[in-house]
C-alpha cells in the first residue's frame, strides 16, 4: 500500500519529468525541425530593407552584417574603427554585389546619449530600416569589483556607456521609426548567458547584459505583433572579446548568429546554438554556489594571464 507521501512524491516526479521531457522536445523541434522565417519577405516594406548593425566591424556584429547581407538586407554599420568598417564593407560588396553598405563611425563610449540618438536618427533617414541588431559591447578585464584599479574602473565606465547607455539610445532612436512602418520589423538585442545568473569577476559586464536581457523581453511584450524582438544570450563565442577558439563548447560568431536569426519571429529569447542551449540549461539546474565557485576558479586563472599581459605591456 502506498502511503500518501509516496503518492505525492510520485506525482511530483512525474510532473517534473514531463516538464523536462516537454522542454527537451520543444528545444529539439526548434533546433532541428522548425522552419526559419524568410526575414527578407517578413520585413520588406515599400523600399529595399536595411539592417542597422551596431558593432558590425568585428566578431558577432560582423557575422550579423554578413548574414543579413546574405539574406538580402542592405547594411548600415555603426562602429568605432573606420578601417575595420571599410574592410567589412569591402567583404560584403565582394560577396554580395547587389547589397548596399553604409558605414557610420561612432565611438559609443565617448558619445553622449543625445549624440548617439542623433547619429542613429540621421543615419536611418531616407532608408527603410527594417531590422536593428543592437550588438556593440565590451567587457572589462575579469577582476573582483572590490579589487578594481584605474584600468578596470575606466573599462567599467566604457562598458556601461556602450552596453547600457548607447544600447538604450540606439533603441530610443530606432524603435519609433521601426514601429511606425507598415510592415513588421525585427530587433535583436545581444545580451549574454551571464545575464541569467551573474558571472564572477565580471560583475559590471554581467549586470549590463542583464539590462539588455530585461529590456529586450519588455520590448518584445510591448511591440508584439508589430516587431519581432529577441534577446540573444550566447555563452562563449570565438571573438576578439574572448580570444577563444571555437570548439564544442565555444561557438563561432557565424554559428550563433545564424541560430539567432533562425529563431527571430519565433522566440523572445535564444541562447543560439544547441550546445549553448544545453550549457545554459545545465547551469540553471546546478546549485548556484557550485556554479559560482567553479567560475571563480576559472576566472582567477584568466586574471593571472591578464596580469602577465599588463605587466609585459608596462615594460614595453
Ligand X SMILES: NC(=O)c1ccc[n+]([C@@H]2O[C@H](COP(=O)([O-])OP(=O)(O)OC[C@H]3O[C@@H](n4cnc5c(N)ncnc54)[C@H](OP(=O)(O)O)[C@@H]3O)[C@@H](O)[C@H]2O)c1
Q: How many residues bind ligand X (CB under 6 A)?
A: 28
The b/e string for 196-216 (b: 16+ C-beta within 10 A; e otherwise) is bbbbbbbbbbbbbbbbbbebb
Cα separations in angstroms, 181 against 99, 219, 269: 21, 16, 24
**What does DSSP assign to residue 109?**
T
Cell digits of residue 116: 548617439
List 81, 122, 153, 218, residue binding ligand X (CB under 6 A): 81
User: Looking at beta carbons only, is 108 or 227 nearer to ligand X?
Assistant: 108
Smallest distance from ligand X to CB 176, Å:
22
End-to-end CA distance of the chain: 78
Can residue 107 be called a binding residue for ligand X (CB under 6 A)? yes
Binding mask 111-150 for ligand X (x = CB under 6 A): ------------------------xxxx------------
- Kindly tell me which of 117 and 128 has the beta carbon lying closer to ligand X: 117
Q: Does 201 bind ligand X (CB under 6 A)?
A: no
> Looking at beta carbons only, is 53 or 178 nearer to ligand X?
53
CB of 190 to ligand X, least distance (A): 4
Give the Cα separation of 77 and 80 in Å (integer). Answer: 10
Of the ranges 38-46, 50-58, 219-227, 308-316, which one interacts with ligand X (CB under 6 A)?
A: 50-58
Q: How far is residue 278's CA from residue 285's CA, in Å, rounded to a whole number?
A: 11
Q: Which stretches within 181-228 are classed as H helix?
A: 194-197, 203-223
239 binds ligand X (CB under 6 A): yes
Judged by DSSP in three states, 17 sits in helix
Angle at 57 between CA 216 and CA 241, to 5 degrees: 70
Q: Which of 209, 230, 179 is nearest to 64 (CA)?
A: 230
Secondary structure class of 266 (helix, strand, coil):
coil
- Exactly one of 3, 4, 98, 240 binds ligand X (CB under 6 A); which one? 240
Instruction: Answer yes or no whether residue 242 interacts with ligand X by CB under 6 A.
Output: yes
Best CA proximity match to 133, nearest among 204, 210, 186, 67: 186
Task: State the nearest-atom distance from the C-beta of 75 to ligand X, in Å.
Answer: 13
C-beta closer to ligand X: residue 62 or 184: 62
Nearer of residues 78 and 128 to ligand X, judged by Cβ: 78
Name the nearest CA neighbour of 249 among 227, 289, 208, 278: 278
Counting contacts by CB under 6 A, is residue 57 touching ligand X? yes
Rank residues 132 and 184 by Cβ distance to ligand X and give the closer one.
132
Min dist. Cβ of residue 208 to ligand X (A): 8
Q: Which residues of this chain interact with ligand X, rule CB under 6 A?
A: 55, 57-61, 79-81, 84, 106-109, 135-138, 162, 190, 192, 234, 236-237, 239-242
Amino acid at each position: 500500500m502506498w502511503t500518501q507521501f509516496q503518492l505525492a512524491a510520485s506525482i511530483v516526479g512525474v510532473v517534473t519529468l514531463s516538464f523536462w521531457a516537454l522542454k527537451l522536445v520543444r528545444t529539439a523541434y526548434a533546433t532541428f525541425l522548425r522552419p526559419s522565417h524568410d526575414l527578407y519577405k517578413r520585413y520588406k516594406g515599400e523600399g529595399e530593407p536595411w539592417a542597422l548593425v551596431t558593432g558590425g566591424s568585428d566578431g558577432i556584429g560582423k557575422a550579423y552584417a554578413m548574414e543579413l547581407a546574405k539574406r538580402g538586407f542592405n547594411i548600415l554599420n555603426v562602429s568605432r574603427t573606420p578601417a575595420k568598417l571599410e574592410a567589412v564593407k569591402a567583404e560584403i560588396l565582394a560577396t554580395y554585389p547587389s547589397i548596399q553598405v553604409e558605414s557610420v563611425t561612432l565611438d559609443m563610449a565617448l558619445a553622449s546619449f543625445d549624440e548617439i540618438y542623433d547619429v542613429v536618427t540621421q543615419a536611418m533617414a531616407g532608408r527603410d530600416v527594417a531590422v536593428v541588431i543592437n550588438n556593440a559591447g565590451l567587457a572589462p578585464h575579469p577582476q573582483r569589483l572590490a579589487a578594481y584599479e584605474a584600468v578596470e574602473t575606466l573599462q567599467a565606465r566604457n562598458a556601461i556607456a556602450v552596453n547600457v547607455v548607447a544600447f538604450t539610445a540606439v533603441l530610443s532612436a530606432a524603435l519609433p521609426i521601426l514601429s511606425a512602418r507598415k510592415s513588421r520589423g525585427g530587433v535583436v538585442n545581444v545580451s549574454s548567458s551571464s545575464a541569467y545568473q551573474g558571472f564572477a569577476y565580471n560583475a559590471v559586464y554581467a549586470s549590463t547584459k542583464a539590462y539588455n536581457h530585461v529590456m529586450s523581453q519588455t520590448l518584445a511584450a510591448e511591440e508584439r505583433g508589430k516587431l519581432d524582438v529577441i534577446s540573444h544570450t550566447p555563452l562563449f563565442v570565438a571573438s576578439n572579446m574572448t580570444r577563444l577558439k571555437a570548439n564544442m563548447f565555444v561557438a563561432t560568431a557565424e554559428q550563433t548568429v545564424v541560430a539567432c536569426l533562425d529563431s527571430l519571429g519565433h522566440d523572445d529569447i535564444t541562447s543560439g546554438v544547441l550546445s549553448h542551449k544545453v550549457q545554459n540549461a545545465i547551469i540553471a539546474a546546478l546549485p548556484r554556489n557550485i556554479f559560482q565557485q567553479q567560475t571563480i576558479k576559472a576566472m582567477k586563472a584568466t586574471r593571472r594571464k591578464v596580469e602577465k599581459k599588463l605587466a609585459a605591456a608596462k615594460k614595453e
